């Protein structure tokens, strides 16, 4: 019953909620970001990070550091925390935690299939995959030549199997089809996740539907902007939009017919929550759109922690940590390439 979660949540979820809130308190603070932005070399970054929670993961790296090493070790920390939480979780929470990683699985599948298309080595591709989205038979994706084989050989065993019914065609895989496949899979995943959260009910349903709706709308806008000028037809574009969210269904109608960014802006400004995002951009500019969306997402994720006794904190924590790793990657790249003036272009502060 909504409003009475305090009576029963802690029986199964109390320990993990405490753990996740502890992790959340360990995210980098503004003082940390301030110091990191002032670093001159990657060694300084490593030294500063060794005073934070990333210390044990970075302390054994020998001195000439690469940005990829830093990012890899920080991701390793996230993966360790996730695995600890997953093995301690009981039923609805363990399924919920697994849902969080399906997005990464989809990304990994697409990465390997694209890489195989361009004749890359399988082991090299496996190293680039995100560790949260790994599953057992992922390496055999390299054998498949079209989508039906892809499904029949490998994906039927994975949790992604139910998302495939809408996008099986007999065509061979090429770049365009792979992108469409990725977006179709992601759409099915978001809708499934949404339904699952609705079934859980209570505070989880409310908070997660808000977060997932934002995600769906953001993807709709990104799909629209990325497909302007390509050969994707309007109907195809409409099929890639999810069936929920603030923009459903009228916003999608309008977005489907947009032909350039200003039209997109015109459509989005009719919705008050997104008006503030688009008002930050001047006309004709789209590079800052990503950063604006990230900032809005971070704001909403932080708000999820204000309420207790729901599963949204786990989702919010994973996303916030990923954003932090993105920040670290950007800062390390700027420092490594001596372009510290551009550091604040893409760093989103999490407070």
Partner 1 sequence: MEKFVDNLSPMDLMRSEKMKLVQLIIPVESAHRAVSYLGELGLLQFRDLNAEKSPFQRTFVNQVKRCGEMSRKLRFFKDQIIKAGILSSIHPVVEPDVELEELEIQLAEHEHELIEMNSNSEKLRQTYNELLEFKIVLIKAGSFLVSSDNHTVAEERELSENVHSNHSYDEASSLIEQEMGTADQPGLRFISGIICKSKALRFERMLFRATRGNMLFNQAPAGEEIMDPLSAVKAEKTVFVVFFSGEQARKKILKICEAFGANCYPVPEDFSKQRQITREVSSRLSELEVTLDAGIRHQNKALTSIGYHLTQWMSMVRREKAVYDTLNMLNFDVTKKCLVGEGWCPVFAKAKIQDALQRATVDSNSQVGIIFHVMDAVESPPTYFRTNHFTNAYQEIVDAYGVARYQEANPAVYTVITFPFLFAVMFGDWGHGICLLLGALVLIARESRLSTQACVQTYHV
Binders in 22-51 for partner 1, by CB under 8 A: 35, 38-39, 43-44, 47-48, 50-51
Binders in 219-278 for partner 1, by CB under 8 A: none
**In angstroms, what is the minimal distance from the CB of 137 to partner 1?**
6
Token look-up 């299939």 returns 113
Q: How many residues of this chain interact with partner 1, rule: CB under 8 A?
A: 25
Note whether 140 binds partner 1 by CB under 8 A: yes
DSSP string, 103-161: HHHHHHHHHHHHHHHTT--HHHHHHHS-GGG--GGGGGGGG--BHHHHHHHTGGGSTTG
Binders in 57-96 for partner 1, by CB under 8 A: 59-63
**In angstroms, what is the minimal distance from the CB of 165 to partner 1?**
19
**In angstroms, what is the minimal distance from the CB of 46 to partner 1?**
9
Note whether 152 binds partner 1 by CB under 8 A: yes
Please count the residues of the chain.
351
**In angstroms, what is the minimal distance from the CB of 178 to partner 1?**
19
Choose one: 53-61, 229-237, 249-257, 304-312; the region binding partner 1 (CB under 8 A): 53-61
Residue 142 or residue 246: which is nearer to partner 1 going by CB? 142
Residues 6+ apart with CB under 8 A from 303: none
**In angstroms, what is the minimal distance from the CB of 50 to partner 1?**
7
**In angstroms, what is the minimal distance from the CB of 271 to partner 1?**
43
Q: Which among 84, 77, 85, 78 is positioned nearest to 13, based on CA atoms?
A: 85
Residues 6+ apart with CB under 8 A from 212: 190, 193, 194, 197, 244, 245
Of 19, 71, 142, 246, the one binding partner 1 (CB under 8 A) is: 142
Residue 48 or residue 340: which is nearer to partner 1 going by CB? 48
Choose one: 87-95, 136-144, 252-260, 342-350; the region binding partner 1 (CB under 8 A): 136-144
Residues 6+ apart with CB under 8 A from 167: 147, 180, 181, 184, 185
Note whether 170 binds partner 1 by CB under 8 A: no
- Cα(145)–Cα(153) distance, integer angstroms: 11
Choose one: 88-96, 152-160, 207-215, 321-329; the region binding partner 1 (CB under 8 A): 152-160
Residue 138 or residue 212: which is nearer to partner 1 going by CB? 138
**In angstroms, what is the minimal distance from the CB of 23 to partner 1?**
23
The helix, strand and coil proportions of the chain, stated in percent and rounded to the nearest 5, come to 70, 0, 30
- 312, with CB counted inside 10 A (0-12, 13-18, 19+), is buried
- Cα(214)–Cα(312) distance, integer angstroms: 14
∠ CA(162), CA(168), CA(170), 5° rounding?
A: 155
Binders in 96-125 for partner 1, by CB under 8 A: 122
**In angstroms, what is the minimal distance from the CB of 245 to partner 1?**
37
C-beta of residue 109 within 8 angstroms of C-beta of residue 40? no
Residue 92 or residue 159: which is nearer to partner 1 going by CB? 159
∠ CA(92), CA(94), CA(95), 5° rounding?
A: 70
Q: Which among 74, 70, 160, 169 is positioned nearest to 112, based on CA atoms?
A: 160
**In angstroms, what is the minimal distance from the CB of 135 to partner 1?**
11
Residue 35 or residue 242: which is nearer to partner 1 going by CB? 35
Q: By the criterion CB under 8 A, which residues form the site for partner 1?
A: 35, 38-39, 43-44, 47-48, 50-51, 59-63, 122, 136-137, 139-143, 152-154
């Amino acid at each position: 019953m909504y409003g009475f979660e305090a009576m029963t949540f802690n029986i199964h979820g109390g320990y993990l909620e405490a753990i996740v809130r502890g992790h959340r308190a360990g995210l980098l603070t503004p003082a940390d970001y301030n110091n990191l932005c002032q670093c001159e070399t990657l060694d300084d970054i490593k030294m500063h990070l060794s005073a934070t929670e990333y210390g044990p993961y970075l302390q054994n790296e020998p001195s000439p550091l690469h940005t990829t090493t830093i990012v890899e070790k920080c991701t390793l920390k996230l993966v360790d925390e996730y695995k600890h939480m997953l093995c301690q979780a009981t039923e609805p929470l363990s399924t919920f935690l697994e849902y969080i990683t399906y997005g990464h699985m989809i990304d990994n599948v697409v990465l390997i299939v694209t890489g195989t298309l361009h004749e890359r080595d399988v082991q090299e591709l496996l190293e680039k995959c995100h560790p949260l989205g790994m599953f057992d038979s992922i390496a055999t994706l390299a054998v498949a030549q079209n989508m039906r084989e892809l499904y029949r050989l490998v994906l039927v065993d994975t949790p992604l199997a139910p998302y495939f019914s809408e996008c099986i065609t007999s065509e061979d895989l090429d770049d365009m089809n792979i992108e469409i496949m990725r977006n179709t899979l992601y759409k099915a995943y978001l809708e499934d996740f949404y339904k699952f959260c609705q079934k859980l009910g209570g505070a989880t349903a409310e908070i997660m539907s808000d977060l997932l709706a934002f995600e769906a709308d953001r993807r709709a806008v990104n799909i629209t902007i990325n497909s302007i000028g390509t050969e994707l037809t309007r109907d195809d574009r409409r099929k890639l939009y999810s069936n929920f969210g603030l923009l459903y269904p009228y916003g999608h109608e309008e977005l489907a017919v947009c032909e350039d960014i200003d039209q997109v802006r015109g459509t989005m400004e009719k919705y008050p929550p997104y008006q503030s995002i688009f008002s930050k951009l001047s006309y004709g500019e789209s590079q800052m759109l990503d950063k604006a969306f990230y900032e809005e997402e971070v704001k909403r994720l932080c708000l999820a922690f204000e309420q207790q006794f729901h599963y949204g904190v786990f989702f919010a924590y994973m996303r916030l940590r990923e954003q932090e790793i993105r920040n670290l990657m950007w800062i390390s790249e700027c420092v490594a390439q001596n372009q510290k003036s551009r550091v604040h272009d893409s760093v989103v502060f999490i407070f």
